[in-house]
Amino acid sequence: MSRKIVIGFDDSESARSALDFATNLAKSDGSELVIAHVLEWSPYSFLTPEELEERHKRRKEELNRAETALIGPIAEKLRADGVNVSTVLRYGHIAETLCAIVEEAGASQIVIGRTGHSSLSSRLFGSVAGSLAQASPVAVTIVP
């Protein structure tokens, strides 16, 4: 019976620790690792006319960059290491989107670093880890 572990990954120091933690976990019991990267996005943010025009192009670039520079190489490395890995790349509210990914994948737990990027704003408005701990449908492991 293979289980799935979702790891919320954003290339920060603590996300790397979380990835290591999740990798060990996956190796120990043969779980599948779902590396999820969420690009912060709100459909209610405000853009200038020029940004509207370029949005589709920028989105493609951002997805491409995240795939080739961030998630892709890591997934490759883990696969070579014998870990069963899949990747998800999404736009949205980070905590909400991670919850949605967990449900879609049918994962049994989620692992996340304590502080991702933008720690200043997270101090003001609550961190991803904090809101995930409250909203997640499955067990959350927060790695320092």
Residues of the shown chain interacting with another protein in the complex, contacts defined by CB under 8 A: 39, 41, 43-57, 59-60, 62-63, 90-92
Q: Least distance from C-beta 87 to another protein, angstroms?
A: 16
Nearer to another protein, 39 or 133 (CB): 39
Of residues 19 and 71, the one with the C-beta less far from another protein:
71
139 alpha-carbon distance from chain centroid: 16
Give least dist CB 14 to another protein, A: 25
Q: Considering the complex, what minimum distance in angstroms separates the CB of residue 47 from another protein?
A: 5
Cα-based distances in Å from 70 to 39, 54, 88: 12, 23, 12
Q: What residues contact 21, with CB distance under 8 A and at least 6 apart?
A: 111, 141, 143
DSSP code at position 45: -
